[in-house]
């Protein structure tokens, strides 16, 4: 079976809203072996919706629509569907009674505008929406299906999971299953990974495929298998996933919806360890990624955004002589930052970043994109020098991911890039104000 996803909304066309609905719908259909052949976005207009339906039904067995089912005047999807399928809008009493009951719970009365929302196309099967007031609609014509759902993502997802998919499965009994696993990697680019996996790809059975989905600092690998025997598909996926992991080794950090911060969180919690951050050029981005996950307070102590040299000195204990001799963007400084935040926040590990994110501020010796990262542990401090581009936003994101990946490798005690020896021309002295009770860094800046 083939499907088209039709999203309705002026806000999508003008770039005001990102169309996440289409991404979700495509993944849900693909899991059931239904081929999505096109995503189409149209305006909230009769002409746009009509043209979209014509295009979709000429090429697809299934059309999934989102948007335009609300109570306001610009929500015209129901009327267009009624006209397209040769029906009319009539009050759907069960939907109206349900809506009156919902508003009654909050001490409000449903008005005529709400009543208008309950006027639905004749001939449509009504899909009860337990997450909102607008129901979904199921219409059929010439053995083709059109499903209309609200544009609010969590309402659409509820209808897909509880109403739509079970109906589509009944129509799709003879279709092949499509199963996949997503393998997440960090540390190398797409071309390097493809080179390592070339022999494995050449050995893939005809019913399997491997897709590369590169992003900034990471590459997702989607391994898929199509067939009609669930157990066989799972066996194939397990076998070739193991081959891929063997070829990529430490580059693989997780699966599916994992990210580097969630994986690091699990490692730290399993070891009952903690981490703290000292961020300059990333401005708190590392801390934000870590705390985006539930229970992060169990392993994340806190962070210091040390943007100015004064803060690097006063809050992290970076020696003034180090900053004067080597500058804020240097290996001696990043070592002192990582060890300083680890000491002062009493964490097991410290992460630090300092660099020239751009677009200005570079010099011939340190051009824009020169960035140092470091991870301090109880035994050692590991550093890495990055050479990125001139795009500030990309530099911040790239540095954040590189720093988290460096921490992951250190936590797993995996090989990391060797650290260059620090210049010896400026021996830095620790300031007198540093509390003597605190542990001294293992490797003082030179």
Residue range 2-171, CATH number: 3.40.980.10
pLDDT higher for 438 or 47? 47
Q: Is residue 333 pLDDT above 70, yes or no?
A: yes
CATH T-level topology, domain 179-255: Alpha-Beta Plaits (3.30.70)
The sign of the torsion formed by the CA atoms of 343, 345, 347, 352 equals negative
pTM for this model (two decimals): 0.75
**CA–CA gap between residue 275 and residue 162 (Å, rounded):** 41
Mean pLDDT calculated for residue range 39-51: 94
Mean pLDDT, the chain, whole residue set? 90
Determine the pLDDT at residue 435: 42
**CA–CA gap between residue 197 and residue 249 (Å, rounded):** 12
Pairing relationship of beta strands 35-42 and 2-8 according to DSSP bridges: parallel
The sign of the torsion formed by the CA atoms of 42, 159, 174, 257 equals positive
- Percentage of residues in the chain having pLDDT higher than 90: 78
pLDDT digits (tens, 9 = 90+) for 275-304: 999 999 999 999 999 999 999 999 999 999
Determine the pLDDT at residue 429: 43
The per-residue DSSP string of 131-164 comes to: TSSSPEEEEEETTEEEEEE-SSHHHHHHHIIIII
Q: Do the beta carbons of residue 133 and residue 117 sit within 8 Å?
A: yes
Residue 231, number of CB atoms within 10 A of its CB: 7
Q: Is residue 110 pLDDT above 50, yes or no?
A: yes
Q: Give how far the C-alpha of residue 347 lies from the chain's centroid of Cα atoms, to the nearest Å.
A: 28
Q: Is residue 442 pLDDT above 70, yes or no?
A: no
pLDDT digits (tens, 9 = 90+) for 195-206: 999 999 999 999
Q: Is residue 436 pLDDT above 60, yes or no?
A: no
Mean pLDDT calculated for residue range 128-148: 94
Same fold, 2-171 and 179-255: no
Mean pLDDT calculated for residue range 60-65: 96
Determine the pLDDT at residue 56: 96
- Percentage of residues in the chain having pLDDT higher than 70: 92
Determine the pLDDT at residue 416: 56
pLDDT digits (tens, 9 = 90+) for 348-379: 999 999 999 999 999 999 999 999 999 999 99
Helices 331-344 and 309-316, packing angle to 10 deg: 40
**CA–CA gap between residue 390 and residue 81 (Å, rounded):** 49
Mean pLDDT calculated for residue range 1-26: 93
Spell out the domain ranges in the chain.
2-171, 179-255, 273-411
Cα-based distances in Å from 93 to 80, 97, 119, 163? 21, 6, 9, 20
173 — pLDDT class (breaks 50, 70, 90) = low
Determine the pLDDT at residue 174: 62
Range 273-411 classified under CATH 3.20.20.60 = no
Both structure tokens of 44: 């909230």
């Amino acid at each position: 079976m083939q499907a088209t996803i039709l999203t309705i909304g002026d806000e999508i066309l003008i770039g005001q809203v990102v169309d996440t609905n289409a991404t979700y719908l495509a993944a849900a259909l693909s899991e059931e072996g239904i081929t999505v052949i096109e995503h189409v976005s149209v305006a909230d207009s009769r002409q746009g919706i009509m043209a979209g339906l014509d295009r979709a039904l000429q090429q697809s067995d299934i059309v999934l629509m989102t948007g335009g089912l609300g109570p306001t005047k610009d929500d015209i999807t129901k009327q267009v569907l009624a006209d397209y399928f040769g029906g009319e809008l009539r009050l759907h009493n069960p939907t109206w009674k349900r809506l009156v009951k919902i508003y009654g719970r909050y001490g409000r009365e449903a008005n005529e505008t709400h009543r208008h929302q309950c006027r639905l196309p004749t001939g449509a099967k009504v899909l009860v929406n337990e997450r909102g007031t607008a129901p979904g609609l199921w219409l059929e014509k010439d053995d083709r299906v059109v499903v209309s759902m609200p544009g609010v993502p969590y309402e659409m997802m509820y209808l897909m999971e509880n109403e739509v998919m079970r109906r589509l499965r009944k129509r799709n009994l003879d279709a092949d299953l499509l199963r996949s696993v997503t393998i997440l990697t960090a540390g190398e680019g797409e071309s390097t990974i493809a080179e390592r996996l070339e022999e494995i790809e050449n050995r893939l059975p005809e019913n399997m495929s491997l897709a590369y989905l590169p992003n900034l600092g990471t590459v997702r690998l989607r391994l898929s298998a199509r067939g009609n025997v669930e157990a066989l598909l799972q066996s194939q996926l397990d076998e070739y996933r193991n081959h891929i992991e063997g070829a990529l080794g430490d580059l693989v950090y997780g699966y599916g919806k994992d990210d580097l911060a969630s994986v690091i969180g699990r490692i730290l919690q399993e070891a009952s360890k903690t981490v703290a951050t000292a961020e300059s050029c990333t401005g708190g981005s590392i801390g934000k990624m870590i705390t985006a996950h539930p229970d992060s307070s169990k392993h994340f102590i806190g962070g210091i955004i040390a943007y100015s040299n004064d803060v690097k000195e006063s809050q992290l204990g970076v020696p003034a002589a180090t900053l004067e001799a080597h500058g804020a963007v240097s290996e001696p400084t990043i070592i002192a930052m990582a060890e300083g935040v680890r000491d002062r926040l009493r964490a097991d590990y410290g992460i630090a970043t300092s660099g020239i994110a751009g677009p200005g501020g570079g010099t011939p010796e340190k051009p824009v994109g020169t960035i140092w990262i470091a991870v301090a542990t109880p035994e050692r401090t590991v550093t890495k020098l990055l050479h990125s581009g001139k795009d500030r936003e990309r530099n911040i994101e790239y540095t954040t991911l590189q720093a988290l990946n460096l921490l992951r490798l250190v936590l797993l005690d995996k090989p990391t890039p060797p650290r260059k020896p620090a210049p010896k021309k400026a021996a830095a002295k620790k300031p007198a104000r540093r509390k003597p009770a605190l542990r001294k860094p293992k490797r003082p800046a030179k």
